[in-house]
Amino acid sequence: MRLISLLGILTFLGLAWAMSTHRNNIPWRVVGWGMGLQLIIALLVFQTQLGQGLFEAANVAVTKLNEFANEGTKLVFGPLAERENMENVFGPGKGVLFVIAIPATIIFVSALSSLLYHWRVLPWIVTGIAWVMRRTLRTSGSETLASAANVFMGQTEAPLIVKPYLAGMTRSELMALMVGGMATIAGGVAAAYASLGIDAGHLLTASLLSAPGTLVIAKLMFPETEKSATANEACELPRSPATNSIDALCQGAADGMRLSINVIAMLIAFIAMVYLANALLAWALSWTDWTITIQEAVGWLNVPFAFMMGVPADECLRVGTVLGERVVLNEFVGYLSLSNMTTGEGALSERTVTIATFALCGFANFASVAIQIGGISTLVPERRPDLAKLGLRAMVGGLLACYLTASVAGLLMR
């Protein structure tokens, strides 16, 4: 299976190359060093005791954060936040109310992240990651900083980090910014996925691995042909707008609440729209013997990709279906489905669950195209035409970056 994962790496790089706008301008240094950084990080995580220790520590830390968030939830919602009480009413395995548990985690982690940003802890980490990537990949300051910020921030928050540079960014840099947003997840959302039973260590590792991976895919698909204003300089993170620590906590909690409402609204709207589309599709096929949903169709298209990541052949269809749900709906639905496949009779193997966790770890779906175009264009309205042209290409790039990261994990995991 490791050899198949290696084939997957070459395949996803090849697909990005095939879709390149300017093959003669591809910066092969970025590709080589980007893949090198991915392999080094994966080796440290999967093959060394230090990496395993950090991996376990991250898992414990996120689990504790979820427990702390749950304590705050109990004060507000009382018995509705108690898993045991809900399971007594609704049955085993149905003890978590999504609308209560998930927003609580997002709000708490968002508040904590805002506090750490105010204390300059997060900026120090992000700047360190950006420094390593800029020294090795030689990418511009703005796109490197955005890529590093995406490890911890969401696709709408990371552009704020490079807001002063957005108007002057080249189309290639905008592509790198958008692919980075599509192929990583925010810290608060990662903690929310962990509350569903998804391994937090895998989620954090996937986002870290994807930082150089997104630049590799973005530069293969849309190489630089313009002169960058930040080509030879490092960009600094803006200071926290908060007056003090209390203000930072309040702003973070408010941001987390807005994100939670957005997540719930997107889930309701897009799941309802897909069911409507499936009903129309069923009506259109009613005169035939075919019965298929949009998720199943996209899932079948993802089956060969799942195999090339290193998923055993007998589990590819189920993983392909989960990947299809992620593209058509979003990664939340994908992780919900994956969490239901990890226990009980017919549970997926540990290797498959790990690869699927890495492959799903990103916002690459159709809804995110609209979110990015709308979100970034509010910061720089004059770049809206460029953002609209890059939207679907960035989503495909985000998918390839996630699949590339999953293949690297499949190659090097024990």
Q: What is the pLDDT of residues 302-336, one digit of tens each?
A: 999 999 999 999 999 999 999 998 998 888 889 98
The whole-angstrom separation of Cα 166 and Cα 126 is 18
Question: Which long-range contacts does 346-350 make (Cβ < 8 Å, 24+ apart)?
Answer: 348/315, 348/318, 348/319, 349/312, 349/315
As a whole number, the mean pLDDT across the chain is: 87
If one counts the domains in the chain, the total is 1
Query: What are the tokens at 263?
Result: 């997540």
- Give the C-alpha distances (Å, rounded to integers) separating 127 from 147, 163, 234, 317: 11, 16, 9, 41
Beta-carbon contacts of residue 220 (< 8 Å; ≥ 6 apart) = 13, 16, 17, 20, 26, 31
Beta-carbon count within 10 A of 58 CB? 20
| Distance, first Cα to last Cα, the chain | 11
pLDDT digits (tens, 9 = 90+) for 74-87: 888 887 777 777 77
Longest Cα–Cα distance of the chain, Å, equals: 65
Domain span at residue 262 reads 2-412
Could you read off the pLDDT of 241-271 as tens digits, one per residue? 889 999 999 998 988 888 788 778 877 887 7
DSSP 260-319: HHHHHHHHHHHHHHHHHHHHHHHHHTTTSS----HHHHHHHHHHHHHHHHT--GGGHHHH
Q: By the 8 A CB rule, do 6 and 408 touch?
A: no
Closest CA to 70 of 56, 89, 84: 84
Residue 228 in tokens: 């960058």
pLDDT at 53: 87
d(CA 208, CA 175): 19
Confidence tier at 220 by pLDDT (50, 70, 90): very high
Q: Between 151 and 213, where is the model more confident?
A: 213
- C-alpha distances in Å from residue 196, one per residue of 102, 116, 147: 9, 25, 27
